[in-house]
Amino acid sequence: MQALRHYLLAVQFFTRIPITGRLADWVGYSPAMLRASSAHFPGVGWIAAAVATASYAALALLLAPSPWASAVAAVGCTVATVLLTGGFHEDGLADVADGLGGSADTERALDIMKDSRIGAYGTLALVLALLAKCTLLALLGTHSLAAALTALAAAHVLSRLWPLCIVRTLPHVGDTARSKSKPLADQISGAALAAAFLWCFPALALMQQAPSALFLGAGMAASLFAAWRMWRLFARRLGGFTGDCLGATQQVGEIAFYLGAALALGPR
């Protein structure tokens, strides 16, 4: 029951799914509970994966055999996941791009990242990220519907594991007193990280049905490499991470998975 409470708290924090009324009273809240809920971040990815794959499959099948079916499905599933999460992770990506692009000074970069207004670097990052996501998913769909759906499911889950590795290995920086991510940013326990890894095992098992033997390895390797590069960037430029850094890492890891999977399948 306690694990279920933590999971529902993670759902409440990372999505727009309403947890209200008696259910919210039963779940409860405390900074310690929010910290414990981080173990279920990849579990929230399964909800995003379900919404994304259902949207993609429905649009692709309804519009088949149009040559534009996979492109429309890619845009549709991206819209669906943004509505589900409220653009939570995309907002983090934009803030990180504005901060790191706007100043080489650490304190100034952190100040820029706190600003709710979006700048030129953030706009560019969002546009390029959405274009990359939609075009790669459309490309995967031209190979097969199974390729696109498998990549969607695995990417949404695995990309939500990498931010927890950053929490485990880097200190939280910035205005910790006002940071909504501070309870999540405290040192994650080994048990919580192990639980997060367990959420990923079904995704790995699912990918054994992938269209290519290289599909799993290439997608995972690309996603992991991208997350490692983000880790190095935050360590060098900020000396740690903020909540925005975690959202940016999820987005970059997700897109990198699609890229690795598309490269593994090769030209259509």
> In this predicted model, what pLDDT tens digit does every residue of 217-232 receive, in sequence order?
899 999 999 999 999 9
Average pLDDT value for residue range 31-58: 91
Q: Looking at per-residue confidence, does 169 or 35 come out higher? A: 169
pLDDT exceeding 70 applies to what percent of the chain? 91
Peptide bond into 65 cis (omega under 30): yes
Q: Do 85 and 15 touch, CB atoms closer than 8 A? A: yes
Q: Judging by beta carbons within 10 Å of its beta carbon (0-12, 13-18, 19+), is residue 149 exposed, middle or buried?
A: buried
pLDDT digits (tens, 9 = 90+) for 117-147: 899 999 999 999 999 999 999 999 999 998 9
Q: What is the pTM of this model?
A: 0.92
Distances (CA, A) of 33 to 28, 40, 45, 185, 261: 8, 12, 19, 13, 36
Residue 19 is predicted with a pLDDT of: 86
